[in-house]
Amino acid sequence: MNILHILSKSILSLCITATTCVSSLSAQDSIPSDFSYQINRVQKYISISPSKLDTAKTLSDLNHFYKVDWVKEYKSVNVTVITKGKKNTLNSTSDLLTINQKTAIKSADLGSEIKVQIRYLPDNNLSQNEISEMDFTFKIDPEVEATFIGGDTKLDQYINETAFQKITTKDVPQYQVAAIKFTIDEEGQVVDASIAQPSQNQAADQLLLTTICEMPQWQSAQYSDGTKTKQDFVFTVGDHYSCTMNILDIRSDTPASLQEYK
């Protein structure tokens, strides 16, 4: 390969990259700005509420990301739960949950992970269709979500007065968001607070972090039997049309009362 050919390929690559960047910026310019703050649930794993579990009949009911149309034929569907500290696996050959599988899921230790492993023939046009495997893990949510004891109005007042009114678009420009992740523990206290996404101003980051760390007490999440559990949240300030929001593991069905304040 001669030098001219190499240079030609390099120039073409640069042109493609430049075109992509311009297209991306143009797309962003068409998106409105939204300078506000939100508090959302964070959940890296899939979860299901007890009420939805009661009516669940299929794998898709347990995991809305599951694509049943990928499967031509099921070879095995194993549901593994932890009950009283012991592992128990229930088998089937269908995406329909058996009575035993549902009973086992409901009896799983509170807060434990439940794993679903699937062996199947893919639904494709390949001449040699080999058995494939996929799996997912989920948890059962507590019946009562963690909530701020003073209510949404008091939470809004606290955050506005302590931090939000002191933050500007110079600290968090358009298309950007600053984020603080934190946990509400079994006692309703804020623990493990950290900067998940910095702003353009270290002083602003420290203010946001301190605001969360010194936040008044919450009511912890708990299951129907009264067992309390921790829950993770993220406090975000800035333009919530930012693509950064997509990498914060925000749970899509966070109660609206916690979602947004301007």
Q: Which has more pLDDT, 173 or 129?
A: 173
Q: What is the pLDDT of residues 103-121, one digit of tens each?
A: 999 999 998 999 999 999 9
Provide the CATH number for the domain formed by 30-44+144-258 in this structure.
3.30.1150
Q: Which residues contact 94 (CB under 8 A, 6 or more apart)?
A: 74, 77
**For range 238-260, the mean pLDDT:** 70
- In contact, 39 and 258? CB cutoff 8 Å: yes
Question: Is there a contact between 108 and 83 (Cβ–Cβ < 8 Å)?
Answer: yes
Task: Name the percent of the chain lying above pLDDT 90.
Answer: 67
101 pairs with which residues across the strands? none
Strand partners, 184: 190, 231
| C-beta atoms surrounding 6 within 10 Å | 10
- Kindly report, residue by residue over 124-167, the tens digit of the pLDDT: 877 778 899 999 999 999 999 999 998 999 999 999 999 999 99
Question: 27: pLDDT confidence band, cut at 50, 70 and 90?
Answer: very low
Across the chain, mean pLDDT equals: 84
- Is the confidence at residue 180, as pLDDT, over 60? yes
Q: Say how far apart CA 35 and CA 237 lie, in whole Å.
A: 7
pLDDT of residue 15: 40
What tokens were used for 139? 């948890």
Q: Please report which confidence band the pLDDT of residue 33 belongs to, taking 50, 70 and 90 as the band edges.
A: low
32: DSSP letter: P
Regarding pTM above 0.75, the answer is no
Which residues in the chain are classed under CATH 3.30.1150? Answer: 30-44+144-258
d(CA 146, CA 213): 16
205-248 pLDDT tens trace = 999 999 999 999 999 999 988 999 999 999 999 999 888 888 88
Q: What is the pLDDT of residues 61-76, one digit of tens each?
A: 999 889 899 999 999 9
Count H helices, E strands: the chain? 6, 13
pLDDT at 250 over 90: no
Look at residue 255 in the predicted model and tell me its pLDDT: 43
